[in-house]
Structure 1
């Protein structure tokens, strides 16, 4: 897949995983144009199917669905570092490293915006491109896969956006699948280190045992 096509997919996914305010929903024609320009047939089909649902919803229903999916369900949160590090010192370090990577490329986050928020990570990948730009996605692939599984479990159309993103990334190795199964079963570390303001991630416990075998496949 060409670098421009990957950038289009990451750019569109970043937009679609952002809160659907009136401005974003009004940009339906532009979103469809961006989708239609995607060369990869699988990603284009997944994102087109998502848009068919997304743009048919009323604004209030789209917004309610987004909040219920990402804000009220910890197991499908958009903060990638939580999946691997939980609320531990390692998560604080991972956040710092992300900020430093962004700064090296001239990116400054808005006040209060966290560097591991998936739309931010996707926008960085789309802007900087292969190599350093996509490195955070590869480093947090476990989180992406666990989020994809959680969204798929609830049958939300947002699962298609994660499927498109994961399909663009390198295939998982057997070691990756084993690590994912273990992480899904055990859940993230729970060491409390005063990171309450850092954006609590998802609670994987309710679905870990049910999905461990699925994630490992």
Structure 2
């Protein structure tokens, strides 16, 4: 199977379907699609994931990718932040998908990395590598940050950089990551949501509302992991 599809499935929010199709996942990571030097590590990653309680795995994913912006899997968040340019970039990316017959649900965010990987898994390898080279500086920094936090997800992100034949110096990125202030601590998160609170006239949001998650509505289809 495509290594990009596999990484997209594993990088996505771990829904219950992962455990329901554990045998297919193990067969996929033990197949010929992965680089031989990475295969054993992927097998270990999947075995440890399947051995964990789904709620614990989901909490670990949220703690890494959905608390603070530095580990966001929304690529344009790293490029455009909250500027208006991000909206146009979204439109352009959706148009690129549609030109190749790849339609999104209305609630899907086109720059969500697992979704991007599913799309690229259907494209010629040279084209997929070119796409990933354009964002390899982002993926490489995500890999470095995940490694700094001792997360097993660093494996998936590092493999993406290798697939793109990226020439990034991960050592330098790891050094940068080690010097960055963390943005996922309770104190920082509290300040972030205070700064981003928006009130329209007298219709203020309930102060007890939890901060919004950035997880896209869509998740990769594990049932097609061996396709």
Instruction: Give distance in 1, aligned partners of 2:29 and 2:118.
Output: 16
- TM-score, reference length from structure 2: 0.69
Instruction: Give distance in 2, aligned partners of 1:49 and 1:106.
Output: 35
Provide the residue aligned with 1:127 in structure 2: 122
- TM-score, reference length from structure 1: 0.72
User: Structure 2: any 5+ residue segments left out of the alignment?
Assistant: 181-195, 197-211, 216-227
Cα drift, residue 55 of structure 1: 1.3
Cα drift, residue 149 of structure 1: 1.4
- Asked if 1:107 is matched to 2:102, the reply is yes
- Asked if 1:51 is matched to 2:46, the reply is yes
Q: CA RMSD in A?
A: 2.8
Q: Give secondary structure in 2 for the equivalent of 1:147.
A: helix
Matches within 5 A, 1:27-106: 27-37=21-31, 38-106=33-101
In structure 2, relative to structure 1, the CA distance for the partners of 1:131 and 1:39 (3 Å cut) is closer
Larger radius of gyration: 2
Provide the residue aligned with 2:16 in structure 1: 22
User: Structure 1: any 5+ residue segments left out of the alignment?
Assistant: 1-6, 186-191, 201-217
Tell me which moved more, 12-21 or 133-142: 133-142
Provide the residue aligned with 1:170 in structure 2: 165
Instruction: Give distance in 2, aligned partners of 1:166 and 1:107.
Output: 24
Give the number of the structure whose residues are more often helix, by fraction: 1
User: After superposition, what is the alpha-carbon deviation per residue over 1:33-71, rounded to whole angstroms, capped at 9, x for unaligned?
Assistant: 111113521232332231122111111111111111111
